[in-house]
Amino acid sequence: MSIKSQTGRTENLPVNGEVLARFVGKTAVITGASDQGIGGAVAERLAREGASVVLLSRSEPKRLVKRLHRMERGVLFVECDVTRSRDVQRSVEKAVAQFGQLDVLVNNAGVECARPFESFTDDQWQGLLEVNLHGAIRLCRAVLPHIPASGGAIVNVASALALGGCPSFSIYSAGKAGLIGLTQSLAWELAPRKIRVLAIAPALVATPMTMKHMQHLTPEVRKQLEAIHPLGVGMPHDVAGAVAFLASEDAAWITGATLPLGWAPHYALPVAHFMTPVEEAVPPASASAKPR
């Protein structure tokens, strides 16, 4: 049984049927792009609005790449492990060689591992931070020299758990909170260069990474989860719409902000039931990132 989206939302396009063109002539780099997750939805949304897209991930999302090619946009996939500086630098160099400049960076690559704080090994907690926080730092450092003088945007995918917290997600929450701190400080530093830095903090989004938990929940717990999502559990295209707005000129006077998505300020997760022992093995700090 799946968690329902109460509004029955579909992908939000203009009511007059016209497709927005906010990213024509721009290139966007998206990490952790996959066929079904948030990264893939962001890539499709930006491409639909005219962007050329650079997909960085451990493995090629072949179905996503085919869909993007059908839009007749520039598409480049580069195999990349965000925990390795050489991989990141090489990937950015390939993107610049093909498209010339980079206008938008979406730091989406992430992994999660849920367990009591004292149960984490050093490799496990360091591995989480290497992907979720240090990976974004590496990408920012590599991409910034190639953002044009006219400006650009960086959008970091954080989490409601960075603001609300949740038992057994201590390290994940810490990494995502660090991402919000990076967003706020970097926004000040880059404002003179007309580069905006923003973050989003989504609540529960139906992706392959989260659904491994959902299949173990009782009907009672599902109802509790639905109750704390006043607009229903999110879909990847819900997140993609928010990213597209923040990265576009429509948000030209917004920087340093973190936009909560789909949740109320008090994110009271029913943790006692939610945290069934369904764990994803987190490889050592040198491991690669999983697309979300």
Q: Using CA atoms, how far apart are residues 205 and 188, in angstroms rounded to an integer?
A: 30
Q: What is the pLDDT of residue 217?
A: 76
Q: What is the pLDDT of residue 282?
A: 55
Q: What is the pLDDT of residue 218?
A: 81
- Tokens representing 2 are 């799946």
pLDDT in tens, 103-116: 999 999 999 888 99
Do residues 246 and 200 lie in contact, with contact meaning Cβ atoms separated by under 8 Å? Answer: yes
Q: Using CA atoms, how far apart are residues 45 and 242, in angstroms rounded to an integer?
A: 10
Q: What is the pLDDT of residue 6?
A: 43
Catalytic residue among 99, 120, 169, 172: 172
Q: Using CA atoms, how far apart are residues 106 and 270, in angstroms rounded to an integer?
A: 30
Provide the 10 A C-beta neighbour count for residue 117.
12
Q: Using CA atoms, how far apart are residues 279 and 273, in angstroms rounded to an integer?
A: 14
Do residues 89 and 110 lie in contact, with contact meaning Cβ atoms separated by under 8 Å? Answer: no
Tell me the C-alpha to C-alpha distance, in Å, between residue 210 and each of 3, 115, 189, 241, 276: 11, 15, 34, 20, 13
Rounded mean pLDDT of the chain? Answer: 88
Provide the 10 A C-beta neighbour count for residue 51.
27
Residue 172 a catalytic site member:
yes
> What is the mean pLDDT of each successive set of 10 residues along the chain, which is 292 residues long?
49 60 98 95 98 97 97 96 98 98 97 93 98 98 97 97 88 97 98 98 86 75 80 93 98 97 67 51 51 52
Sheet holding 75-79, edge to edge: 75-79, 52-57, 27-31, 104-107, 152-157, 195-202, 258-261
